[in-house]
Amino acid sequence: MTERISDAELAIMEILWEEAPLTAIDIARRIKPHKKWSITTVKTLLSRLVTKKALSNKRDGRRFLYTPIIKRKSYVDGESQRFVDRLFGGKFMPLVAHLAEKEKLSAEEITEIEKILKDLKS
């Protein structure tokens, strides 16, 4: 996927990654408690995601069923890399140092990071 997904589009994707295929009305019902979007707004976002090749749609009678084409892990991997590239010159360690300085890591979190690094070495 070459085009970026907006925050609003991502809200739609999260619903579909959780459960698919769904209709526009199914998605609007699931998103309603979090956003005050009309069905028209949901359909516009779905159309954009189909154009971006993030979703496929399949006619089911008078409605369409929407299914993600891209996997959530692939999306997260790409966005994570773009983030590191854009803010930290593609280097992981400045990001880790920044987070460690700002977040006041607990002993448990440090142990968890050490385990991840140990596993990566293996």
User: What pLDDT score does 10 carry?
Assistant: 97
What range does the domain containing 7 cover?
A: 1-90
User: What pLDDT score does 7 carry?
Assistant: 95
Any idea what DSSP says for residue 6?
Answer: P
Q: Give the pLDDT confidence of 35-60 residue by residue, as tens digits.
A: 989 999 999 999 999 999 999 999 99
As a whole number of angstroms, the distance between CA 79 and CA 4 comes to: 9
| pLDDT, one tens digit for every residue, the chain (122 residues) | 557 999 999 999 999 999 999 999 999 999 988 898 999 999 999 999 999 999 999 999 999 999 999 999 999 999 999 999 999 999 988 888 888 888 777 889 889 988 988 998 98
Residue 116 lies in a domain: no
At 52, is the secondary structure helix, strand, or coil? Answer: coil
Which of 93, 118, 9 shows the shortest CA–CA distance to 53?
9
Number of residues that this document lists for the chain:
122
Residue 103 lies in a domain: no
Residue 99 lies in a domain: no
Residue 122 lies in a domain: no
Residue 23 lies in a domain: yes
Residue 8 lies in a domain: yes
Count of Cβ atoms closer than 10 Å to residue 9 Cβ: 19
User: What pLDDT score does 1 carry?
Assistant: 53
Predicted TM-score (pTM) of the model is: 0.82
User: What pLDDT score does 106 carry?
Assistant: 84
Residue 36 lies in a domain: yes
- Structural domains in the chain (count): 1
Residue 108 lies in a domain: no
CATH number at residue 26: 1.10.10.10
